[in-house]
Amino acid sequence: MTRTAHDQFAKQYLEELLAYLGQVQTSRDVPSEVRQIDVYFVPAATPATAPENLGVLGQMASTTGLFEVFRNPPTPVEIRTCKLKLYSLQGDLLRQARREKKSLGESDLPRLWVLSPSCSERLVNGFGAQLDESGNWIPGIYFMPEFEKTALVAIDQLPASLNTLWLRVLGRGATQQQAVNELLSLPQGHPFRRNLLEILSNWRVNVQLRQNPNEENRELIMNLSPAYLQLREEAVQEGVQLERKEMLEDMLRFRFGTIDEELASIIETLLQLPRQELTPAVFNLSREDLLQRFSRS
């Protein structure tokens, strides 16, 4: 699978999650040669959700940052290219601040997060990256020297918990497979679950449509299939439930002429009745009995 196809998914996936916390730009150009950042993020003053809800990803999103996502482990050259994007962007932001007569401190400058399915010991040591010793960050995240403002995230080394779920979905092999299963096990009302399942399902469809899929693509299709099938099943169930609700509304209109606010308030409760009990309830009970028996209050 090409990096371009994975880029498209990763950008859409991170944009969906990070949009709750601030402003997200994908494929942002940086000066000199045209280079694009996968995801550029600026935190909002009042985010739509608490950063803690996104676990480690929310912790990363506490400051302005660049997110570069790799489907395969990056080479040293690719890491240096990511760092070049970071420094080019920092220069652009500093020039803009001078034009606007503002000051940017070190803490205001963006940080680079390189998200990789794995990181070899050679790669980590070669860039002088180390685990955080302060206890603020979990294992699997390697920080380069302070002023380089860059971290390598080895997704396969992250502890398996809800705190890391949103990052582990971007992994490979068994790591991704487990994360997708955990995503499926979230309650259906979870604010992130449905949209992320749709993104994963679309990615699977796009990969499957490719001719002559290689071994990597076949593995990816297998990992994403549970999300795809679950979304289809839920869509069918929602269609059946919608059809049943429309039928109930027609019955209530036939019986009472119109559906006012009081009758509308008991529709969801009536829908929980077995089919064989629903019709007798609507046609045999008076309006007052219906409201008294099925009112949620």
pLDDT of residue 123: 96
- Cα angle, residue 170 at apex, residues 167 and 171 outer, rounded to 5°: 100
pLDDT of residue 244: 73
- At residue 245, φ and ψ (nearest 5 deg) are -65, -40
- Assigned token pair, 165: 């779920």
Spatial strand order of the sheet with 130-131 comes to 22-30, 35-43, 65-69, 111-116, 150-154, 141-143, 130-131
Q: What is the pLDDT of residue 297?
A: 47
* CB distance 114 to 151 below 8 Å: yes
Q: Which residues contact 40 (CB under 8 A, 6 or more apart)?
A: 24, 25, 26, 28, 65, 66, 67, 89, 110
3-state secondary structure of 113: strand
> Could you identify the residue written with the tokens 């909002």?
44
Which phi and psi angles does 107 have, rounded to 5°? -75, -15
Rounded to the nearest angstrom, the gap between the alpha carbon of residue 86 and the centroid of all alpha carbons in its chain is 23
Q: What angle do CA 62, 64, 66 make, to 5 degrees?
A: 115
Q: Determine the pLDDT at residue 34.
A: 45
pLDDT of the chain, 297 residues: tens digit per residue: 445 667 788 888 888 899 988 888 876 665 555 468 889 999 998 998 899 999 999 999 999 999 999 989 999 999 999 999 999 999 889 988 998 888 888 889 999 999 999 999 999 999 999 999 898 999 999 999 999 999 999 999 999 999 999 999 899 888 988 888 888 888 888 888 888 888 777 777 676 666 556 666 666 666 666 665 666 666 656 666 767 777 778 888 878 888 888 888 888 888 788 777 878 887 788 888 888 888 864
The answer for 7, left when phi > 0, alpha when psi is -120 to 50, beta otherwise, is alpha
Helices (H), the chain: 3-18, 55-60, 76-99, 121-126, 165-168, 173-185, 193-208, 215-256, 261-264, 267-270, 275-284, 287-294
Other CB atoms closer than 10 Å to residue 118's CB: what's the count?
A: 17
Asked whether 253 and 267 are in contact (CB, 8 A), the reply is: no
pLDDT at site 136:
93
Question: In the prediction, which pLDDT does 139 show?
Answer: 96
CA distance 29 to 164: 29
Domain ranges of the chain: 3-171
pLDDT for position 262: 86
